[in-house]
Amino acid sequence: MALTAIKGFNDILPGESGRWHYIEEAARRVFELNGFSEIRVPVMEKTELFCRSIGDATDIVEKEMYSFTDKGDNSITLRPEGTAGVMRAYIEHKLHALDPVAKLYYLGPMFRYERPQKGRYRQFHQIGAEITGVHDPLVDAQVLNMLTAFFHEIGLDEPSLQINSLGCPECRPAYRAALCSFLEERMGELCEDCRRRFSTNPLRALDCKVPGCIQATVGAPSVLEHLCAGCDDHFSAVRSYLDLAETPYSINSRMVRGLDYYTRTTFEMVTTQLGSQSAVAAGGRYDGLIQQLGGPAIPGIGFAMGVERIALLLGQREFASLPDLFIATMGAGERNAAFKLMDGLLKAGVRVEMDYEGKSLKSQMRRADKLKARFSVVIGGNEVASGSAAFKRMSDGIVTEASLTVAGFEAVLAQGRGDLHQYSTAPVSEQ
């Protein structure tokens, strides 16, 4: 019997990993420009952490978590999302004592047991960012601007920003009561999950994707009509800052998110290109979460992005780290010279490939084309004797004579080749 990967746990092969590097490196650039630092937390936590943070009545805790009892009789869970673990580390290591205003980001795998589909797997990957210690709506706007800047950085303008406010513990009970009264009259039209969640999390009926629930909740009370003065002012200020920054957005009053810890500002980056998997990034405020997990009463706001879904949006492009130079040899006698040149260039930070098997020159040049090397050079007896060779720019065939040294190839680069070993992001059809 052949061994294969577990259903919903995917391999990321070399042809795809360049796309992931491109996404991750763009996130690092944008986040660190905004003052964020990376934090790395374990992929496993105590189950209690997620029950307390996400909420016992959520689908994640009720149906989707990978939980088990370890050999020490402890209940352990593979993390289904990133915020809870980051906040646990923030509290445990007393990062708030150093500075209550912390800007943190993370990258890594998450785990949920759900039906695998395009862009949604049982092991999936997120990039997230969190800010703690600030109530001011200016921070909400900075987070939203940073998220928008990330998508611009990777060349995606299509995902659009949708925002909402979920209110706070003062004003949400009145809204919940109004919504429950509305839903009670339509209980027979709701799906089984929404009926089951009615007493614990009735707001989830608003973002249920079952057609019957969508129809049944048309005309439901809007949370924005039940905000207290403080929440209304906060949401108005967030919109004002976004307008000031000329960040495009729309208001989606049906957005409730699936985690219990959200308060006030919530948001999603939404695309029309992935079918039902429309949200590629989402987040919001969680002003009570840190205290709920045993820390001080410090507010927070953050988001997470689905790497698989973003990679799908970049699917028409090829992201490969291309060789700067391919070295071909005429025969076995020139391999020492080729190896010496390759070694020197690698040490100088130039990406080089060469023939390892003594194939024909024609075969070597076919490989140079296959690898999309930017330059090639052929080393034969004459080149070894003279110490120089013709370096060919593969894109247009222009040939430059230079010495078979690091300095020689750097002189070729100085004629306008540009930065070394960058990603190719041109559409596949143009490659």
Q: Is residue 239 part of a domain?
A: yes
| Position with higher pLDDT, 77 vs 117 | 77
Q: Is residue 8 part of a domain?
A: no
Q: What is the pTM of this model?
A: 0.84
Domain hosting 51: range is 14-170+227-313
Mean pLDDT of the chain: 89
Q: Note whether 85 and 207 are same-domain residues.
A: no
Q: Is residue 26 part of a domain?
A: yes
Q: Note whether 306 and 389 are same-domain residues.
A: no
Q: Note whether 166 and 297 are same-domain residues.
A: yes
Q: Is residue 75 part of a domain?
A: yes
Q: Note whether 180 and 139 are same-domain residues.
A: no
Determine how many CB atoms are found less than 10 A away from the CB of residue 209: 9
Strand-pair category, 250-251 with 160-165: parallel
| Position with higher pLDDT, 261 vs 58 | 261
Q: Note whether 138 and 195 are same-domain residues.
A: no
Provide the pLDDT confidence category of residue 423 given band limits of 50, 70 and 90: very low
Determine how many CB atoms are found less than 10 A away from the CB of residue 40: 11
pLDDT at 232: 95
| 117: CATH | 3.30.930.10
Determine how many CB atoms are found less than 10 A away from the CB of residue 258: 16
Domains in the chain, number: 3
End of a domain among 267, 287, 313? 313
pLDDT at 97: 92
DSSP 198: T
Q: Is residue 25 part of a domain?
A: yes
In percent, the amount of the chain with pLDDT more than 70 equals 94
Determine how many CB atoms are found less than 10 A away from the CB of residue 321: 13
Mean per-residue pLDDT for 33-51? 95
Q: Note whether 308 and 211 are same-domain residues.
A: no
Question: How do residues 139-181 score in pLDDT, each as one tens digit?
Answer: 999 999 999 999 999 999 889 999 999 999 898 889 889 988 9
pLDDT at 1: 82
End of a domain among 296, 313, 330? 313
pLDDT at 66 over 70: yes
What DSSP string runs through 328-388? EESSGGGHHHHHHHHHHHHHTT--EEE-SS---HHHHHHHHHHTT-SEEEEE-HHHHHHTE
Q: Note whether 243 and 262 are same-domain residues.
A: yes
Indicate left, alpha or beta for 303 from its phi (over 0: left) and psi (-120 to 50: alpha): beta
| Position with higher pLDDT, 84 vs 274 | 84
Provide the pLDDT confidence category of residue 276 given band limits of 50, 70 and 90: low
Residue 334, token pair as written in the block:
């020139």
Q: Is residue 27 part of a domain?
A: yes
pLDDT at 426 over 80: no
Question: How do residues 202-231 score in pLDDT, each as one tens digit?
Answer: 888 888 878 888 888 888 888 899 999 999
End of a domain among 313, 347, 370? 313
Q: Note whether 282 and 368 are same-domain residues.
A: no
